Amino acid sequence: MSEEISVDGKSLLLVDDDRPFLTRLARAMQARGFTVRTAETVAAGIAEVTSDPPDYAVIDMRLEDGNGLDVVEALSRARPDARAIVLTGYGNIATAVTAVKLGAVDYLAKPADADAIFKALIAEPGTRAALPDNPMSADRVRWEHIQRVYELCDRNVSETARRLNMHRRTLQRILAKRAPR
């Protein structure tokens, strides 16, 4: 980009149910000049969007009370020129396509840092995202996926193993190890 985009005073809505992440991201975005509001549920996110649609939004895909895409859709209706980014730890092509069709301008996999999120928010329309400097290894991606499914199954090893089509003891060995780099 030849010209720096100023975001001073622009409103940003952050919707995520991971409170520590939400707090860190809010501080980081305030330091970059945004006026930040936060919400931890789909209902609270939609309420924020309908009461005062933000210029920008960063919305987690899976929230305690539903799907973050509902917030993206509400934002797109309330303010078509708003730039929304969807964050998810459950990335796949189908949900990425759906997010973009509903109005998101980008789709980032967690863990995403504040710099990557900021770059995606202010990117010129039509520009391609840069390749990550240090992408996760295939082993790390696999480990992250197993951890997410394990958490979704309320830390039930047998149910997680069934859903992953994996032997229970194999899963227990994987869960006992540290995360790969």
pLDDT digits (tens, 9 = 90+) for 112-133: 888 888 988 888 766 665 666 6
Rounded-to-integer distance, Cα 23 and Cα 38, Å: 9
Domain 11-122 matches domain 138-176 at the CATH topology level: no
Write out pLDDT tens, residues 142-158.
877 888 788 788 889 99
pLDDT at 3: 41
Write out pLDDT tens, residues 57-111.
999 988 888 888 899 999 999 999 899 999 887 666 667 778 888 888 888 877 7
Per the confidence metrics, is the pTM higher than 0.85?
no
Q: For the chain, which residues make up each domain, given as ranges?
A: 11-122, 138-176
Write out pLDDT tens, residues 19-67.
888 999 999 999 999 999 999 999 999 999 999 999 999 999 888 888 8
Rounded-to-integer distance, Cα 130 and Cα 145, Å: 24
11-122 CATH pick, 3.30.365.10, 3.30.465.10, 3.30.2350.10, 3.40.50.2300: 3.40.50.2300
138-176 CATH pick, 1.10.10.60, 1.10.530.10, 3.30.450.40, 3.10.180.10: 1.10.10.60
Residues sharing a CB contact under 8 Å with residue 72, sequence separation 6 or more, in sequence order: 57, 59, 84, 86, 99, 102, 103, 104
pLDDT at 144: 75
pLDDT at 73: 92
pLDDT at 2: 36
